[in-house]
Amino acid sequence: MATFQYIAKDSSGGERRGTVEASDRNAAISAVRAQGLLPTALGEVKGASASQPAKKSGKSAKPAKPAKGGAMNKEIKINFRMPKFLQGKIKTKVLTQFTRQLATLVNAGLPLMRGIEVLKRQMRDQQMLDALNGISENIAAGGTFSESLSAYPKIFDRLYINMVKAGEAGGVLEVVLGRLAEFAEKSEKIKNKVKGAMIYPIVVLVAAVGITAFLLVAVIPKFQQVFNDMLGGAALPAVTQYVIEASEFVQHNGLQIFAAVVALVIIKKIIGKTEKGAYFFDALTLKMPVTGTLAQRSAVSRFTRTLGTLLSSGVPILQSLTIVRDTTGNRVLMKAIQNVHDSVKEGESMTQPLSQCKVFPPMVTSMVEVGEETGALAEMLTRIANTYDDEVDNAVAGMTAAIEPALIIVLAVVVGTIVIAMFLPMVKIIGSVSGAGG
């Protein structure tokens, strides 16, 4: 028996060090894994073999020390020491591109390790490169691909890791990687469309607020001074008086208004961290007049595509529902999915809990019911996702078409009202000057 020193990661990602006795390196790796640890480095400690006890001598035996430059120093490497910057989220584009390229290489017949090495040579993102270095070293030490990915939870989420694990178990890793890449690409496409649709309305809204604030604070006070000088305190038109009062309120209470806005944001954040508050805001998001439909369709599309991708990759239904529940990001959906999970666990159908949740339209529950009855649930979920992806596209286009002119009209009304309010007294002043001159 030989003694091996190891460095490993525990379930929480912490580093553990220790020694095990085993007949060879593979047996040592198995012994470390049996402790619930993920070995990242392993090396034999020379002179510490359990089968060769120290010889008796007149002097007391001293612990054997590995010689400098010995096998331990050569073999032990800290493979999974993650820098602080790896704690952040990696760009979705980088992860999607890596997944797609790895799927292509593995599908072409390249071994997994060789495919990773090829991608390492062309990787430009330092975070991803460091992760790939650790992953390849752990696989070389006898670890599986999914175990290696689990050491980087900020890069590879539970959905990714569980699908890879299912692909390894079923021997269809290249198929699973292709599905992961397709899933990420479609999700990113929808997300970018929604973001792109909101850019123009946000720019117009910010411009409207900025212009209005500038007019109220900088321009109207000067006109007010002119009116006081030229009209001698005469009554002003009602709309002009209203605009001037609004200007004075903003000037005198600007800090209070800013503080109130900040306080509302903070209060929302605090309430949103509570379970009931988060549920309320998530439900409100799905019921908003304009954006609610878009949020609902996006939620349905993401739920069905994620669940369909997991099921088609061989992940068990209960485990798939748990992953989808934890990655949905909406408390209303989380509650509905938990009800579905409990129903399936009891041997019942998914249809009833889905129909009780107001998020999923009747068409979705009907198609899920048909999928359960025919044994083609994964395919049916994917069809639903494709349908709702198209509906999200249409909703984004419709929302953009409706919001843009509405914001322009609001901006025109606000600025036009201020201009007219300032112009009406000027007519009176010009009339009085003309009368005096005549």
Per-residue pLDDT of the chain (438 residues; tens, 9 = 90+): 788 878 777 766 677 888 888 887 777 877 887 887 777 667 777 655 444 444 433 443 344 444 444 444 434 433 444 444 444 567 888 888 888 888 888 888 888 888 888 998 888 888 888 888 888 888 888 788 888 888 888 888 887 888 888 778 767 788 888 888 888 887 788 778 777 777 877 888 888 888 888 888 888 888 888 888 777 667 788 888 888 888 888 888 878 888 998 999 999 889 888 888 888 888 888 888 777 887 888 888 888 888 888 888 788 888 888 888 877 778 888 888 888 888 888 888 888 888 887 778 888 888 988 988 888 888 898 889 888 888 887 877 777 777 778 888 888 888 888 888 888 888 777 766 665 555
For 136, the domain range is 84-156
70 domain-assigned: no
Alpha carbon 213 to chain centroid, angstroms: 35
Domain with residue 148: its CATH number is: 1.20.81.30
63 domain-assigned: no
219 shares a domain with 148? no
Q: Which of 428, 388, 238 is nearest to 308 (CA)?
A: 388
383 shares a domain with 316? yes
366 shares a domain with 324? yes
328 shares a domain with 244? yes
121 shares a domain with 7? no
342 shares a domain with 264? yes
How many CB atoms sit inside 10 A of residue 155's CB?
A: 22
Q: What is the DSSP letter of 157?
A: -
322 domain-assigned: yes
412 shares a domain with 264? yes
173 domain-assigned: no
Q: Is the pTM of this model over 0.85?
A: no
19 domain-assigned: yes
150 shares a domain with 212? no
Q: How many domains does the chain have?
A: 3
279 shares a domain with 351? yes
45 domain-assigned: yes
DSSP per-residue codes, 28-76: HHHHHHHTT-EEEEEEE-TT--TTSPPPP-SSPP----PPTT-HHHHH-
362 shares a domain with 220? yes
426 shares a domain with 368? yes
375 shares a domain with 253? yes
